[in-house]
Amino acid sequence: MTRKPAFPHLLAPGTIGPVTVPNRVVLPAMDMNLCADGEIEQEDIEHFVARAAGGTGLIITGCCAVAYPVGCASTKEPGLSEDRFIPGLRALADAVHAAGSKLCVQMTHHGKIARIDTVEGRPLLVPSAPSGSADLSALADNTSDEMRKMAAVTGGKQATYREATQDDIDWVVRCFASAARRVRAAGGDAVEIHCAHGYILGGFLSRADNKRTDGYGGALANRARLAVEVKKAVSIPVITVGRVLPEVGEKAIAEGRADFAAMGRQLLADPELVNKLAAGTPENVRPCINCYVCVQENFWDDTPICAVNPALGNEKLLPLSPVSTPKHVVIVGAGPGGLEVARLAAERRHRITLLDKTDRLGGTLWFASLTTPDNQRLLNWLKVQVERLDIDIRLNTEATAASIAALNPDVVVVATGAVRGRPGVPGGDLPHVHTGDTLRALMTGSGDVSQVPPLLRTIAKLGKLSGITRSPAAIRTVTRRFLPMGKNVVVIGGSLVGLELSEFLAERGRNVTLLEEGQQLGVPMAMPRRWTAVRHASEHGVTIHRHATVQRITKQDVEFRVADKTMTAPANMVVVASKVSAQASLAEALEGAVPEVHVIGDAAEVDYIQGAIHSAWKVAAKL
Ligand SMILES: Cc1cc2nc3c(=O)[nH]c(=O)nc-3n(C[C@H](O)[C@H](O)[C@H](O)COP(=O)(O)O)c2cc1C
Ligand code: SF4
């Protein structure tokens, strides 16, 4: 029996002007920074072809520079300003067509963001000279390494600006027109004109950036004049973009609110999206977790990395080929790293035994799904994958070196996660001081609750009996009404976990104080997400102290120092999110007892979801 496609609107052909697109899924423009001096390289072609072969109807390239190298943000973006760029464009168009998709080229002049103009000593072309200075307060949460990498892109040079004259405007129009002719000559199907992000055309459109008093400034019709001077058509289909999941795109098209659905990061995470929808297996689409790791790389001119898809930018990694001599692989720990290595190794036809000491799959990812709902999509996907594959899953199974050796493995993968300690200050062992482990036990009803006070332990048990603690979504909802913890909470440690947890608790009416020993909050979250998380925490009323050193914890409060000032914060509960470290003592105990041992994920190096998935791929490729 064939499965009926659940996405009839999304998978139906559509037209944009004279171009017929095989379905309504669009890869929106995302720069990959894989070109050399404006010329399209093979890796760039492979990236787009993977998405075309995965069924995407229309492929839009990332920014291509209409006046290369003038007005461009990177010399790794494709150029459109000379005929020497046509062969590369043609190779891309041919390859995308051969894979069954249509190609649209995004044309750009980066205006005030044209970093290469600054590098090469040219002033940035803008509608009006900028007045005032930009708000850079979010950079307080950048590490010195990040600041150094961002500054390196412009060689540390300061930008200068030049207000566009009529000649400049005429030149911009000519550049866009000639670029479009080159795209057509190369066999491209369409062009997209970039009018956002503060680039030149977006700059003219913006009231904040455009203070002109001539025919290109003032009323909207004037500000839009430059953008419409290269455009004749007025009746155009609508492509919607921005966290459009397949079901959202399907609904928008069915209701006539959009004609096409662009899915950017989702197609970075899984290039096979459309083929999987068409096969009736949407549950197999690897979800994007909205972590912004990919976006971050653009800040320092690198190729995007995907936290959940290590093949992004390096499509040659795939496929991981099946083995002719399967091994028995025992995996200890069913967190994100353990589940991913189990999936990949099983797909390579190894025999897998997956052990976890708790009563559920997911490990830290399960807990991280409470504070960050997007993580739950990855958790669900990993569960579906390991459950559909022939994997021997053993929960509630504490592994020892002896019990593992008794399974006769050829390979053991230790994915037991990080260890979490207590602060070595007076009061650090009081019962209301929780580590990630005891807090997890309390919230999920899973794991060791012996350190949890009796009343809370009873509540945790009730939650478990009622089934609430089996679902992160249910816990998120229920804890908005009832959260078994006191009013005042101090979170020690403002990295990823501490920051997300503070926001979660503050959203649920807790008076939260966050103490961070260093300057930066939210590391190692990717920068754009970190900036948002810090802002959200403040908006939810979290009191933040940076450079804060905890002195002692009492039953009522936490005493800490900032510079030479001693302060206290009230605390009925203290959560320690700072003492997280990698440890794989099991791997040491297994040395010599089994033929091959690997350590992945936080047990090897604390690097959360990205580290878990990427290290899982490295090991799985070698098995
Ligand atoms: C790595 C990356 C690079 C991007 N580069 C561009 C670009 O070159 N031009 C552009 O207009 N938008 C760019 N975008 C924005 C996307 O086109 C899209 O609008 C955005 O990612 C939101 O859609 P999504 O939630 O489906 O990812 C980029 C986004 C990402 C993630
Ligand atoms: S890096 Fe994160 S946000 Fe970007 S595509 Fe991958 S999962 Fe999505």
Nearest alpha carbon, ligand 1 atom 4: 30
Task: Report the alpha-carbon distance of residue 238 to residue 262 in Å, rounded.
Answer: 10
Q: For residue 612, is it left (φ>0), alpha (ψ between -120 and 50) or beta?
A: alpha
Please name the amino acid found at residue 171. W
Residue 342 phi, psi dihedral angles, 5° rounding: -65, -45
DSSP run (H or E) holding 292? none
Nearest alpha carbon, ligand 2 atom 7: 288
How far from the centroid of its chain's Cα atoms is residue 466's Cα?
Answer: 34
Contact predicate 528/296, CB 8 Å: yes
Cα distances (angstroms) measured from residue 115 to each of 156, 173, 175, 361:
11, 21, 19, 46
How far from the centroid of its chain's Cα atoms is residue 99's Cα?
Answer: 27
pLDDT in tens, 438-478: 877 777 766 665 655 655 566 566 566 566 677 888 888 88
Task: Report the alpha-carbon distance of residue 580 to residue 4 in Å, rounded.
Answer: 48
Which residues on neighbouring strands pair with residue 548, listed in sequence order? 562
- Sites in the chain below the pLDDT cut of 70: 1-5, 228-229, 231-235, 445-468
Q: Is 106 in the pocket of ligand 1 (CB under 6 A)?
A: yes
- Among 199, 216, 292, 608, the one annotated catalytic: 199
Q: Give pTM, 2 decimals.
A: 0.94
Q: Is 377 in the pocket of ligand 2 (CB under 6 A)?
A: no
pLDDT confidence of residue 220: 80
DSSP run (H or E) holding 265? helix 264-269
Nearest Cα neighbor of 93 from 67, 66, 58, 69 is: 58
608 as an active site residue: the answer is no
Pocket test for ligand 1, best of 25, 26, 31, 245 (most atoms within 8 A of CB): 31
Question: Angle at the Cα of 542 (from 537 to 545), degrees rounded to 5?
Answer: 105
Nearest alpha carbon, ligand 1 atom 9: 29
Q: Is 295 in the pocket of ligand 1 (CB under 6 A)?
A: yes
pLDDT confidence of residue 466: 63
Nearest alpha carbon, ligand 2 atom 6: 306
Q: Which ligand is nearest to the CA of 104?
A: 1
Task: Report the alpha-carbon distance of residue 95 to residue 99 in Å, rounded.
Answer: 6
Question: Angle at the Cα of 546 (from 542 to 550), degrees rounded to 5?
Answer: 95
Pocket test for ligand 2, best of 51, 273, 292, 529 (most atoms within 8 A of CB): 292
Q: Which ligand is nearest to the CA of 309?
A: 2
pLDDT confidence of residue 1: 47
Task: Report the alpha-carbon distance of residue 38 to residue 71 in Å, rounded.
Answer: 12
610 CA distance to ligand 2 middle (Å): 9
Helix (H, G, I), strand (E, B) or coil at 545: strand
Task: Report the alpha-carbon distance of residue 100 to residue 106 in Å, rounded.
Answer: 20
pLDDT in tens, 185-231: 999 999 999 887 778 777 777 787 888 888 888 888 887 777 766 84
Q: Which ligand is nearest to the CA of 29?
A: 1
CA 266 to ligand 2: nearest atom: 5
